[in-house]
Structure 1
Amino acid sequence: MELHVVIEGTKDLTGQLYRQIKDAIRTGRLAAGEKLPPSRLLAEQLGLSRKTVAEAFARLIFDKLLVGQVGKGTFVSDVARQVKPAETSPGFAGAAVAERWRSMPTPLRHAGPAGLLRFEYIGGAPARSLFPHADWRRCVLHALRQSTRSRGTYGEAEGLPELREAIARHVAFSRGVRCSMDDVIVTHGAQQALDLVARVLVEPGSTVAVEEPGYPPARQLFAAQGAHVVGIPVDAEGMQVEQIPEGTRLVYVTPAHQFPLGMPMSVARRKALLARAQAVGAIVIEDDYDSEFRYEGRPTDALQSMDRHGCVAFIGSFSKTLSPDLRLGYLIAPQAILQAVATAKHLSDWHTATPTQMALAKFMADGDLLRHIRRCHAVYAQRRESIMRRLGSDLAPWLECVPANAGFHLAALCRQPIDMDMLLRLARRVDVGLYALDGFYHFSPPRPGLILGYGAIETADIDPSLDRVRDILQQMG
């Protein structure tokens, strides 16, 4: 790869080269430790004499910007770089829009590995230790072999046919969804599926109804599209659908495992939601983010399976069943928006990475996904039981568990006033990561409580960590 240097004219050639390399180092374009081309090669690339290049290198070495290593070459030294970003013009026309995006809170953005604690109750993170590395490696190698036969063209925006067929079979088997592969669009996680539906339905001023409390990234995404977002309260049966206003264009719900409180939407409420959506002409987004993990009670079909008027868009994600690293999800789109969403997908990123799709299609076709879900289910069930047992015993004076029969997080509401900021702060001091429910409320005063994810914490760590939480609550009085 050539070093980007532009030499103009025939004057001060050494100075031009010296100043450009110096500027590249100071602005960070050349990182510390970066190896420069040999002087002979750089001279040929720039049409200069080798002596000119050697003199520029010598000046940079004298200024301690470069360092020569005998037998290895010339490298950028570990100098302090003074990176100065270009200042934006005061008349920047898009300043207001950019500021609106910059100032948006991101309550569910996960910290990097360095920011995680020993005992983590962060929500939405599956068990990393359970990831089937050997099975996935085998499927990735299969995908790479298949890729060698590719003609090197772009794929279908809707996704790889083999994967779409596997997804259609999976959701029909596990969730009772009524669809064929033609209804499936492969996405970069559930979040892109939400974005695609919003792109084709939401205009500035459109009314979108969301759950309150609910999933902040969905609410923020709809608001960013210019929607008038309305929060609809939830109760023990789910969203109170009678409060969905006239003129609503889109309704976002999590009926299998309400996020973040966890209760399922009752059958009666589901029927009422479908009737209300038909009455106002709305499309319902059913976010089925983690319902593969069910622990008690009779299973309920997806809301989409009850839909007789083509108004439900079913969204799923492999971030919860496998890993967020894969960034794979899917949308089962109703006919009314199917082609529009496919066009939006094509225009936004053309298609999801083909080798990854090939690997997942193989993983699902071989039965590895269902086996992995069963393994995770057994572990999550044990962790869930441990947390519920503690919430029903020594933590009961302070916290009350919200009934939930799916997913891999529980919500616990406060029975008495607790200084939640202090609790979270003191818990971090003893290496316990706790997270409050406050950030999931937007339209109403929050109910104080905790969201306890049990994907990222090991089973053996639950009791010791909750012992620390109990001790803190006792000390707080």
Structure 2
Amino acid sequence: MELHVVIEGRKDLAQQLYQQLRDAIENGRLTAGTQLPPSRLLAAQLGISRKTVSDTYSLLTYESYLVGHTGRGTFVMARPVQAERKQSAQDLACAQSLARWQALPAPLQHPTLEGCLRYEFIGGATTRAQFPQEDWRRCLQHALRCMAQGGSLYSQPEGLPVLRHAIAGHAAFSRGVACSDQDIVVCNGAQQALDLIARVVLEPGSLVAMEDPGYTPARLLFSAQGAQVLGIAVDEQGLQVAQIPDGVRLIYVTPSHQFPLGMPMSPARRLALLERARELGAIVIEDDYDSEFRYEGRPTDSLQSLDSRGVVAYVGTFSKSMLPQLRLGYAVLPPAIREAVIKAKKLTDCHTPTLTQWALAKFINDGCLHKHIRRCHGVYAGRRERILQRLEGDLAPWLEAVPSNAGFHMAALFRVAVDVPLLLALAKKVEVGLYSLADFFHDSPQRPGLFIGFGAIETLDIDPALDRLRDLLQQLAPAA
């Protein structure tokens, strides 16, 4: 790799080289310990004499910018960086826009590996121990071979045909989604699918209706695109469709496993929602984020499978069934918005990396995904059952579980008054990661409770963690 130095003309060559190297060291572009090219190589690169380079190195060494080590080369010495003042956000014409973005909260932010607590109830995290590493490695090796055979061209923005075909079969088999390969757009996680749909549907000032409480990252995304987000209350049947006002252009719902409370949307509400969307000319986003994991009752149809008018955009993800780090998701799009979303995908990131697309297609087609889901289902079912036993047992004086039959998180509402922020802070001190439901409410009155994810915590860790929670609740609300 060549050192970036620009020599102009044939005059003051030594001065030009000296000034550029000195400036690069003073402003930190060449950091302490960086080895400079040998004088012969740098001279050949710049088209100047070797003596000019050697003299410049000697002068910079004399001024303590460089140091030479016999037999090893010439290196940059450590010295304070004299950085010029950079423009602050307040100096820029876009200061107001920057302030709005900087003020956004970061809900459901997963901790770093170093910051993880011993007992972690965060939502959206999967069980790493169950992931079939060998199967995935084999699929990645297959993907590398496919890429080697495919040349060096960019891929289709909507995704590889082989993966779209595999996803169409998976969505139809597991969730009854009515779709063909052409309806699928592969995305970098479900969040990108939401972003793409919102980009083509919304304009500044557009009205969006979504569940309240609901998925906060979706609300923040719609707001960031200039939309006015209206929180629609939920009850035991899900979204209260009658409260959706006129003028709404986009409706966001989680009908199979309401986020974060957990109840499914009733069949009557689903039909009412489809009819209301047709009246409004609105698009409905069905975020079906973790419904592969069902523990009780009969499976319910996806909202998309009931849609005969083409108003539902179904969004799925593999972050919950596989690993969040893979950032793989998809959207099943109605014909009216399909082409526009594909063009938006092309403009934003061209396409999702083909390495992971090839690998995922083989992972699905070889049956590895279904086997992995079945394996995780048994693990999650056991964790869920143990948490419910504790909530109905020694934790019952303080907490009541919200009925839920899917996913790998649940909600529990407080029966008595508890200082929730204090509880969370104290729990953190005893290595228990707890999360409040308050972060998911927008317009509706908050209902104090806990959001309990059981994907990341090991089964044997549940009882010790809940023992610590019980001890803290006895201190904060002993009358219970």
The equivalent of 1:228 in structure 2 is 228
Following TM superposition, by how much is the alpha carbon of 1:129 offset from its aligned partner in structure 2, in angstroms?
2.0
The equivalent of 2:248 in structure 1 is 248
Q: Percent identity?
A: 62
Superposed CA offset, 1:342-373 (max 9, x none): 11111111111112111110111100111111
In 1, Cα distance between equivalents of 2:251 and 2:65: 58
The equivalent of 1:130 in structure 2 is 130
- Relative to structure 1, the CA distance from residue 336 to residue 41 in structure 2 (aligned partners, 3 Å threshold; closer, same or farther) is same
1:110 corresponds to 2:114 = no
The equivalent of 1:389 in structure 2 is 389
In 2, Cα distance between equivalents of 1:67 and 1:136: 48
The equivalent of 1:325 in structure 2 is 325
In 2, Cα distance between equivalents of 1:432 and 1:59: 59
Residues 247-286 of structure 1: pairs in structure 2 closer than 5 A = 247-286=247-286
Residues 280-359 of structure 1: pairs in structure 2 closer than 5 A = 280-359=280-359
In 2, Cα distance between equivalents of 1:132 and 1:111: 23
Q: Do the aligned partners of 2:254 and 2:287 also contact (CA within 8 Å) in 1?
A: yes
1:370 corresponds to 2:370 = yes
In 2, Cα distance between equivalents of 1:399 and 1:68: 69
- Relative to structure 1, the CA distance from residue 318 to residue 42 in structure 2 (aligned partners, 3 Å threshold; closer, same or farther) is same
Superposed CA offset, 1:96-131 (max 9, x none): 222211211111222221221111111111112222
The equivalent of 1:96 in structure 2 is 96
Q: Which secondary structure state, in structure 2, belongs to the residue aligned with residue 320 of structure 1? A: coil
The equivalent of 1:53 in structure 2 is 53
In 2, Cα distance between equivalents of 1:168 and 1:304: 13
Range with bigger deviation, 228-237 or 162-171: 228-237
The equivalent of 2:449 in structure 1 is 449
Q: Which secondary structure state, in structure 2, belongs to the residue aligned with residue 197 of structure 1? A: helix
- Relative to structure 1, the CA distance from residue 89 to residue 172 in structure 2 (aligned partners, 3 Å threshold; closer, same or farther) is closer
Range with bigger deviation, 173-182 or 125-134: 125-134
Q: Do the aligned partners of 2:260 and 2:440 also contact (CA within 8 Å) in 1?
A: yes
The equivalent of 1:430 in structure 2 is 430
Q: Which secondary structure state, in structure 1, belongs to the residue aligned with residue 395 of structure 2? A: coil
Q: Which secondary structure state, in structure 2, belongs to the residue aligned with residue 156 of structure 1? A: coil
In 1, Cα distance between equivalents of 2:258 and 2:389: 22
Range with bigger deviation, 248-257 or 383-392: 383-392
In 2, Cα distance between equivalents of 1:364 and 1:443: 41
Following TM superposition, by how much is the alpha carbon of 1:58 offset from its aligned partner in structure 2, in angstroms?
4.5
Residues 125-274 of structure 1: pairs in structure 2 closer than 5 A = 125-274=125-274
Equivalent position amino acid for 1:450 in 2: L
Range with bigger deviation, 167-176 or 146-155: 146-155
Superposed CA offset, 1:179-203 (max 9, x none): 0101000011101100111111101
Equivalent position amino acid for 1:349 in 2: D
Question: TM-score of the superposition, structure 1-length normalised?
Answer: 0.95
1:465 corresponds to 2:465 = yes
Superposed CA offset, 1:60-84 (max 9, x none): 5566655555544444456565655
Q: Which secondary structure state, in structure 1, belongs to the residue aligned with residue 190 of structure 2? A: helix
In 1, Cα distance between equivalents of 2:78 and 2:117: 32
In 2, Cα distance between equivalents of 1:454 and 1:59: 64
Equivalent position amino acid for 1:17 in 2: L
Following TM superposition, by how much is the alpha carbon of 1:33 offset from its aligned partner in structure 2, in angstroms?
4.6
Following TM superposition, by how much is the alpha carbon of 1:20 offset from its aligned partner in structure 2, in angstroms?
3.1
Residue segments in structure 1 that go unaligned for 5+ positions in a row: none
Superposed CA offset, 1:165-217 (max 9, x none): 00000000000000010100001110110011111110111111011011111
Q: Which secondary structure state, in structure 2, belongs to the residue aligned with residue 330 of structure 1? A: strand
Following TM superposition, by how much is the alpha carbon of 1:418 offset from its aligned partner in structure 2, in angstroms?
0.9
Equivalent position amino acid for 1:183 in 2: D
Range with bigger deviation, 322-331 or 157-166: 322-331
Q: Which secondary structure state, in structure 2, belongs to the residue aligned with residue 186 of structure 1? A: strand
- Relative to structure 1, the CA distance from residue 472 to residue 45 in structure 2 (aligned partners, 3 Å threshold; closer, same or farther) is same
Equivalent position amino acid for 1:206 in 2: S
The equivalent of 1:412 in structure 2 is 412
In 2, Cα distance between equivalents of 1:82 and 1:395: 59
Q: Which secondary structure state, in structure 1, belongs to the residue aligned with residue 36 of structure 2? A: coil
Equivalent position amino acid for 2:102 in 1: R
Question: TM-score of the superposition, structure 2-length normalised?
Answer: 0.94
In 1, Cα distance between equivalents of 2:22 and 2:270: 65
Q: Do the aligned partners of 2:108 and 2:122 also contact (CA within 8 Å) in 1?
A: no
Q: Do the aligned partners of 2:208 and 2:227 also contact (CA within 8 Å) in 1?
A: yes
- Relative to structure 1, the CA distance from residue 158 to residue 39 in structure 2 (aligned partners, 3 Å threshold; closer, same or farther) is same
Q: Do the aligned partners of 2:89 and 2:95 also contact (CA within 8 Å) in 1?
A: no
Range with bigger deviation, 88-97 or 264-273: 88-97
